[in-house]
Structure 1
Amino acid sequence: MVDNTMRAMAYPGYGGTEVLRETRLPLPKVAPGEVLVKVRCAAVNPVDWKIMAGGLDALMDAVFPVVPGWDVSGTIEQVGFDVPEFAVGDEVIAYARKDYVHGGTFAEYVSVPVRALAPKPAALDWAQAAGLPLAGLTAHQLLTRLGTGAGDTVLVHGAAGGVGSLGVQLARVRGARVIGTASPRNHERLRALGCEPVEYGDGLADRVRALAPDGVTVVADFVGGVLDSTLAVLADGGRHASIADHTVLGAGGQWMWVRPDGADLAELGRLADAGRLTVDVAATFPLADLPAAFALSQEGHTAGKIVITL
């Protein structure tokens, strides 16, 4: 008898980590323009547990039970109708967000729209590759929207985090000088990425001004709650954006959320294969330990990505 089910972590309704359960669910259907990916690794992002707690219920419909997770690396198991770009067996990565919350990546299989897919970078292992899509696209799209390039001095808030460390690298790829906020224990790691680290907290603006007396031209806020510091160090005509604080809209900034984009993701993969972009993995967990992985993410002190391996 053919088993058309898969192992997955899912939750039947909103709540904390206590609502997560290991279960068996039907294999996802594969619509036209989609592929079925056999999951090798899936990365944890704060948005995963925020959605689980109901934090995005006003924005996105949820169809329960929900399998959380939007980041994935794996191999194509099946292609849907009209998918000439990919074939069974291809190694791929994706930011697999869909238009509603239901079938995510913390499972043995996930269906992914082709528009979100890109080839897996050969230079990254499966765990690193899974950690690239959401964080890498977030940093890339924010820096692109701000027109970041050579001649800019960029301040990255949260430079040691999963998004921030990629933002540092991508700003350097664009030829910018980068100053990044982080706790002292992460300063040496940031220096290795080409960043000038400063400690966050009281006196931050003075520390940034000591490095950039004329101010910074671009501020990338990946943590939220730092608008006063941003405005204190932003040069006249400077640009700033946040992924975590909508109040920047009232201060001339941009508030953005990452979009799935296979072409953007493929470009990040090319940078990784060229040795210009790497992904730090802080911890890995088996699928059944997803609640512990979420709890670690909720602590907010992890430098690098938390990854589930299958």
Structure 2
Amino acid sequence: MITEERMRAVVARGYGGPEVLELMTVPRPEPGPGQIRIRVEAATVNPVDLATRSGALVEAGLMAAREHTGIGWDVAGVVDQLGAGVTGFAPGQQVIGLRDLLDVSLGAYSEYLVLDATAVAPAPPGVSAVAAATLPLNSLTALQALDLLDLTAGDTLLVTGAAGAVGGFAVELAARRGLRVIAQAATADEEFVRSRGAEWIVSRDAFDLALDVRRLVPGGIDGALDTAGLAIRALAAVRTRGSYVTVVGGSAPLPLRGIRVHQQWISSDGAALAELAAMNLTLQVADTLPLERAAEAHTRLTAGSIRGRLVLIPSEGA
């Protein structure tokens, strides 16, 4: 008789506050053709997890309601088993990956996770699994948003929420592309965003963001990457026929003055993730918690004032 392998995972039972998160024992998933099973060593807690748990994504029509909903997108761990046809990976290899499917019964808050091989990349060398887990969702979001902006070296770029997880990566990647970055950030974060490559700082508390930006760049900036969902306030800083991208769902303003406006929706990309993992980007971990304290992590993230990401550790000794 074959005994079914089981594992621990946190899921949302229904929708609501952190109290709907439940640690359950469930069957260990099996990888299909083209898939990889990862033994999870670290899973990052992101704002999208809060929106999934609360039911906001169901209300927005982005996912269907279900009795149990998987939580968690970012994963770092070890290749446990390869599905048929998978090449380029080996059991025991340290990897990172991104789950970009919303409507699933199991997420990264688990001891094992199955992902398509195309969503997985080798982990950054010399980096702990905890730190590596903070890379996939936020760095890929920043990278894909910058690609949508389609700016060239020497162009000017405003990044709102520049000290946040996506914003920080955006500043760093933009500076590496030769863009001149204006970072919107709190006074306390000025040193941090300058270390990432920002040339100018505008206050997060500015009454008129566009006016402050246009004092630095008369005529307006070439592009804005809006991670804070400021919408028209950020758009007003962009020059006529410039470019604007928001990463906050539903916040895209109308394309006034011929500005190219895009809503960026994340998608997994193992090849791009591998390139990001090799860049030695700045990784920030706020704290680590065991899997069974996922509800506490959600409460802390909701409260705000966290620099870096909270990371869950699914297994003892991982």
| TM tier relative to shorter chain | over 0.9
Change in Cα spacing, 1:64 to 1:86, as seen in structure 2 (3 Å) is farther
Cα deviation, 1:102-146, whole Å, max 9, x if unaligned, reads 210111111111110010011432122101101011000010111
Question: What runs of 5+ residues in structure 1 fail to find an aligned partner?
Answer: none
Q: Percent identity?
A: 37
Change in Cα spacing, 1:16 to 1:86, as seen in structure 2 (3 Å) is same
Change in Cα spacing, 1:262 to 1:297, as seen in structure 2 (3 Å) is same
Q: 2:138 corresponds to which residue? A: 135
Change in Cα spacing, 1:133 to 1:62, as seen in structure 2 (3 Å) is farther
Cα deviation, 1:2-51, whole Å, max 9, x if unaligned, reads 56111121222112101111221110121111111001111111111101
SS of 1:102's equivalent in the other structure is coil
After TM superposition, the structure 1 = structure 2 runs for residues 133-172 of structure 1, keeping only pairs within 5 Å, are 133-172=136-175
Q: 1:32 corresponds to which residue? A: 33
Measured in 1, the distance between the counterparts of 2:57 and 2:251 equals 18
Please say if 1:232 is aligned against 2:240.
Answer: no
Match for 2:184: what amino acid?
T
Q: 1:210 corresponds to which residue? A: 215
Q: CA deviation at 1:100?
A: 2.6
Q: Do the aligned partners of 1:218 and 1:239 also contact (CA within 8 Å) in 2?
A: yes
Match for 2:54: what amino acid?
A
Measured in 2, the distance between the counterparts of 1:128 and 1:214 equals 40
For structure 1, which segment, 59-68 or 149-158, has the greater mean C-alpha deviation from structure 2 after superposition?
Answer: 59-68
Q: 2:228 corresponds to which residue? A: 223
Change in Cα spacing, 1:132 to 1:82, as seen in structure 2 (3 Å) is same
SS of 1:49's equivalent in the other structure is helix
Q: Do the aligned partners of 2:235 and 2:253 also contact (CA within 8 Å) in 1?
A: no
Q: What's the TM-score once normalised by structure 1's chain length?
A: 0.93
Cα deviation, 1:198-253, whole Å, max 9, x if unaligned, reads 211313223222322232111001121x2232232112221001011535352241
Measured in 2, the distance between the counterparts of 1:247 and 1:23 equals 35
Match for 2:209: what amino acid?
L
Measured in 2, the distance between the counterparts of 1:237 and 1:16 equals 42
Q: Do the aligned partners of 1:148 and 1:171 also contact (CA within 8 Å) in 2?
A: no
Measured in 2, the distance between the counterparts of 1:165 and 1:149 equals 19
Match for 1:222: what amino acid?
T
For structure 1, which segment, 246-255 or 212-221, has the greater mean C-alpha deviation from structure 2 after superposition?
Answer: 246-255
Question: What runs of 5+ residues in structure 2 fail to find an aligned partner?
Answer: none
Measured in 1, the distance between the counterparts of 2:94 and 2:298 equals 26
Q: Do the aligned partners of 1:219 and 1:230 also contact (CA within 8 Å) in 2?
A: yes
Measured in 2, the distance between the counterparts of 1:234 and 1:115 equals 35
Please say if 1:258 is aligned against 2:266.
Answer: yes
The CA RMSD over aligned residues, in Å, is: 1.7
Please say if 1:11 is aligned against 2:12.
Answer: yes
Q: Do the aligned partners of 2:98 and 2:137 also contact (CA within 8 Å) in 1?
A: yes
SS of 2:95's equivalent in the other structure is strand
After TM superposition, the structure 1 = structure 2 runs for residues 30-109 of structure 1, keeping only pairs within 5 Å, are 30-57=31-58, 58-98=61-101, 100-109=103-112
Q: CA deviation at 1:173?
A: 1.1
Change in Cα spacing, 1:89 to 1:270, as seen in structure 2 (3 Å) is same
Measured in 1, the distance between the counterparts of 2:216 and 2:297 equals 37
Change in Cα spacing, 1:247 to 1:70, as seen in structure 2 (3 Å) is closer
**Segments of 4+ moved more than 4 angstroms:** none
Change in Cα spacing, 1:234 to 1:43, as seen in structure 2 (3 Å) is same
Match for 1:282: what amino acid?
A
Please say if 1:280 is aligned against 2:280.
Answer: no
Q: What's the TM-score once normalised by structure 2's chain length?
A: 0.91
Q: 1:302 corresponds to which residue? A: 306
SS of 1:219's equivalent in the other structure is strand
